[in-house]
Structure 1
């Protein structure tokens, strides 16, 4: 059933960045999720994932976390301190009472809770890159061969045609030259909600599934070639 809060005939021009960090893994019972760890320079990894972007482009920035992890590890207090230290003034923390089924679900719950309309930019917390997003539908990409070391099973891959449009996106299979760099732009939060609602019962749901369905329905997505891509998970594995 469609949730009426995800419907708006006159969406506002506001731009919103959403960083979903609501995974609920068994190891989090005994250790802090690694994206909340602080590097040697004093910057939390998920904040580093934000700082490489031009945050002044967004009216709102929401980092979504789980309540029981917030209470266990004081995540709200840690994040607020990081906002202040790093001069991020337009960020807010969204706390979910229950774990979500997937990253797309976390994004959806954030949209509902904050009544978001207009364009959204979804930023993964476990990587950083330099480059601008667009107010339209787009995916941040990076060429696979530019990385010295990569875990290919953790990526999704996109095909780009000669006119510089994305024509396909596939999860966990190296079939194209570019992989997604952890940034996804949707022209309309309302459209995102409608497509999510079609797939909400599907197990193992990724953003790539929603985007692929939108591509089949003739929604166009542009690739945004990024620079200085850094995968934090690879850094953690090296330690």
Structure 2
């Protein structure tokens, strides 16, 4: 069974019509933000790494070429840039379209492009978590939260409502992408989906998810929203 890392970076906003999305910009170390977001993961455990972008952004800013060149410079192998012709409604649809377009099978690990953490976990049903008390800053409206029981299983995951002292850190592992797609299809009638909705539906069906505690979490998205970068 193959193991696949998917980084969905196809968000579309009005300001992106004439401005490079910040996840494709260079950080202070000269590394493109969305690439740096995965460098704390055990990349050698993935058979394939996918960065999914919008064609309109690629046409304007030559994103695919920039990503390919930097991945080559960093020695990242098995990287593919997936280009979607049309905007998606949300991150979950972007992942689904990536799976369909590339005919991905096996396990998938979905990584948010606007944050960084270090973790050795790669495969199985799981969610990256980080303690609230260790955050530099927190906007409760910008996070999903995870409840963990005494046996170290996830019992709940929910958007924008604090239910424990762990946030979802932006890494989501599914051991079978066909199951992910089945749940996506069953929930697609909702206007906007989050990955937490997919996981919660699976929890209701008695599918188990483990938390994995990550280190050195950096939340660039929240810092940008609050004007710190």
- TM-score calculated relative to the size of structure 2: 0.97
- The farther-off stretch of 198-207 and 160-169 is 198-207
Instruction: Kindly indicate whether residue 130 of structure 2 is the aligned counterpart of residue 142 of structure 1.
Output: yes
Aligned pairs, number: 227
Q: Matched residue of 2:96: which SS?
A: helix
Aligned runs of 1:1-239 on 2, under 5 Å?
13-236=1-224, 237-239=227-229
The 1-side partners of 2:19 and 2:122 are apart by: 36
Q: Runs of 5+ in structure 1 lacking a partner? A: 1-12
Deviations 1:144-189 (Å, cap 9, x if unpaired)?
0101212221110010000000000010112211000010000100
The 2-side partners of 1:79 and 1:134 are apart by: 22
TM-fit CA distance, 1:201: 2.1
Q: Matched residue of 1:16: which SS?
A: strand
Q: Runs of 5+ in structure 2 lacking a partner? A: none
TM-fit CA distance, 1:33: 0.6
Let me know the Cα RMSD of the aligned residues: 1.0
Over 3 Å off, 4+ runs: none
The 2-side partners of 1:61 and 1:233 are apart by: 22
The 2-side partners of 1:14 and 1:234 are apart by: 33
Aligned residues of 1:121 and 1:133 also touching (Cα < 8 A): no
